[in-house]
Structure 1
Amino acid sequence: MNKIKRLVIVGGTHGNELTGIYLVKKFERSPQLIQRSSFETCTLLANPKAYEIGKRFVDTDLNRCFQRQDLHNLNLSSYEAQRAKVIYQTYGTKGTLEANLMIDLHSSTSNMGLTIILARQLPYNLQLAAYLTSVNPNVKILYSEPQTLENPYLDSICEFGCSIEVGAVAQGTLNATLFQQTEELIYAILDYVEAYNKETPLRVQDTLMVYQSIRTIDYPRNATGEIQAMIHPRLQFQDYQALHPGEPIFLTFDGEEIVYEGDKVVYPVFINEAAYYEKGIAMFMTLPIEIATI
């Protein structure tokens, strides 16, 4: 693989996720923190208008606007669609500042801890993820394939990339511990890329344990789409914990338990994520698997 020449740290893909936004602002004030000798590091505040109004987005979710067919569709005129085109034309393939690696910073109202989200099982991505788990054993790796034919996520515009999802933190707020832990992960990524570029790659394990997303579950709803139950108290904030068949997952407003009816143990994540109510997602069901990093 060729060396990484340009890396982009992205914050504010969603305007109410402040961890990434304020890290980008910090790095812009003190660029020496993120510069390394063998590659250039850039920062990007992806959705400035959404940040200004304190909302996830202005017109539509920016992190679903990067399918190639959409980037080349002149009829898409929403703010986020236009913003996606600018970002792609700058940092995407053959862009004016073409990047090789993109790190997209997010935060979640779910108890995701420190999660690296991969949408592609490329060796470089896997080895980087394995290194981050060795630096901090609390890091979890979530493998989530896009549900569309093309990857719509911002980090897909580069050859390599991932998202860092941290939580639980309320929308529009900061959590100092998660802020500092995210910052340390970024420095670890930069150090890994530097070592790789200098042909002194840091040692990683041959296998990596990832949580593979297998499906999403929506809240129980009535015929008009109105929610009829809440996340069960026993499941709230239990991301990455085993859920067995027959255990409760929802509680109706009348106090009736609704149980998980699957036939095998799963590990839910993004449980009760506030931003996913509109997407019809109460949680992601995952299975832990070991994959080779080579």
Structure 2
Amino acid sequence: MEPIKRVAIIGGTHGNELTGAYLIKKFEQFPALVRRSTFETITLFGNPRAFEMGRRYLDKDLNRCFLTKDLLNPTLSTYEDQRAKTIHHLLGPKGHPAVDLILDLHSTTANMGITLILSSHHPFNLQLAAYLSQLDPQIRVFSWGQSSQDSSLLRSLCEQGLAIEVGPVAQGVLHAEFFQRTEALVHQILDYLERTNQGNPPSIARNLTLYQFIGSIDYPRDEKGDIQAMIHPKLQGKDYEPLRPGDPLFLTFDNQTIAYKGELTVYPVFINEAAYYEKGIAVYLAKLQPLYI
């Protein structure tokens, strides 16, 4: 593998996720913290105007604005569309990025602990995830898939890299423990890159368990689109725990349980994520995918 020459750390992609936003502020104030001898580290504040207003976004979700056709469409003119084009100009273009690896820092209201979300199944991403999981067995690794299909996510600008998702953290709130754990993880990644560039990579366990995305479920809704049930109390906060056919999934407002009707055991993630109500997502579903890397 070619040495890593340039790394981008991005926070504040969503303006009300303060962990990443304030880590970027800290790294910009103390750049020596992320400086390493064998590569350049740049920091980028994803959505500064949304941060200033205490909102996830102004017009649309910035982390859904990076499809190639949208980046090249001159008629898309919302603030986030323009911001995505600026970031694409700085870090892209897709396929030939100006950086070798992207770290995108996020937080979630769901009980996901420390989760690594892979940009792709590039061997380097899998090795990095395996190494970090080895350092902290509580880390989970979630993957949207290994397809080379175009993606709307910011981290898709570079094949190598990942998002760090931590939670539960309320929107617009700084959580000291998750702030510290995210920062520690960033340093572990940078140190790993440094050692790899120096030809002294740490030993890595060859077994990695992915939580592989397989679909999502929306809240029950009426003909007007109004929600008719909540995440069931027995499911709330149970991210990454098995959800079996017949297990409680939703609870209606008149206390009727709606069971999970799937045929196989799955693993729910992003359960009751506050930002996903508008996206029609109550929960993502994943399957366990053991890998030997």
TM over 0.5: yes
CA-atom RMSD, angstroms?
1.7
Off by >4 Å, runs of 4+ in structure 1: 94-97, 146-149
Report SS of the residue matched to 2:284: strand
Q: Is residue 165 of structure 2 the alignment partner of residue 165 of structure 1?
A: yes
Kindly state the Cα deviation for residue 136 of structure 1 after the two structures are TM-superposed.
1.1
**Partner residue, 1:117:** 117
Q: TM-score, normalised by structure 2?
A: 0.97
Task: Return the letter of the residue paired with 1:238.
Answer: K
Task: Return the letter of the residue paired with 2:248.
Answer: P
Q: Distance in 2 between matches of 1:233 and 1:95?
A: 44
Q: Is the 8 A contact 2:121 2:146 kept in 1?
A: no
Report SS of the residue matched to 1:98: coil
Task: Return the letter of the residue paired with 1:178.
Answer: F
Kindly state the Cα deviation for residue 204 of structure 1 after the two structures are TM-superposed.
1.0
Greater Cα shift, 85-94 or 165-174: 85-94
Q: Is residue 2 of structure 2 the alignment partner of residue 2 of structure 1?
A: yes
Q: Distance in 1 between matches of 2:264 and 2:96?
A: 49
Q: Distance in 2 between matches of 1:128 and 1:182?
A: 15
Q: Is residue 140 of structure 2 the alignment partner of residue 136 of structure 1?
A: no
Q: Is the 8 A contact 2:119 2:159 kept in 1?
A: no
Structural mapping, 1:175-214, within 5 Å: 175-214=175-214
Q: Is residue 58 of structure 2 the alignment partner of residue 58 of structure 1?
A: yes
Kindly state the Cα deviation for residue 145 of structure 1 after the two structures are TM-superposed.
3.4
**Partner residue, 1:28:** 28
Does the C-alpha gap of structure 1 residues 170 and 148 become closer, same or farther in structure 2, counting only changes over 3 Å? farther
Q: Distance in 2 between matches of 1:112 and 1:150?
A: 26
Report SS of the residue matched to 2:184: helix
**Partner residue, 1:269:** 269
Kindly state the Cα deviation for residue 94 of structure 1 after the two structures are TM-superposed.
8.4
Task: Return the letter of the residue paired with 1:81.
Answer: D
Structural mapping, 1:242-253, within 5 Å: 242-253=242-253
Task: Return the letter of the residue paired with 1:275.
Answer: A
Kindly state the Cα deviation for residue 247 of structure 1 after the two structures are TM-superposed.
0.9
Deviations 1:191-247 (A, max 9, x none): 111111111111112221010011000000011111000000111000000111111
Q: Distance in 2 between matches of 1:112 and 1:147?
A: 24
Q: Distance in 2 between matches of 1:146 and 1:60?
A: 26
Greater Cα shift, 149-158 or 109-118: 149-158
Task: Return the letter of the residue paired with 1:7.
Answer: V
Q: Is residue 39 of structure 2 the alignment partner of residue 39 of structure 1?
A: yes
Greater Cα shift, 67-76 or 271-280: 67-76
Q: Distance in 1 between matches of 2:91 and 2:140?
A: 27
**Partner residue, 1:106:** 106
Q: Is the 8 A contact 1:89 1:95 kept in 2?
A: no
Task: Return the letter of the residue paired with 1:48.
Answer: P
**Partner residue, 1:216:** 216
Kindly state the Cα deviation for residue 68 of structure 1 after the two structures are TM-superposed.
1.1
Show structure 2 runs of 5+ residues with no match. Answer: none
Greater Cα shift, 25-34 or 143-152: 143-152
Q: Give aligned-pair identity as a percent.
A: 54
**Partner residue, 1:82:** 82
Task: Return the letter of the residue paired with 1:136.
Answer: D
Q: Is the 8 A contact 2:47 2:83 kept in 1?
A: yes
Show structure 1 runs of 5+ residues with no match. Answer: none
| Number of equivalences | 293
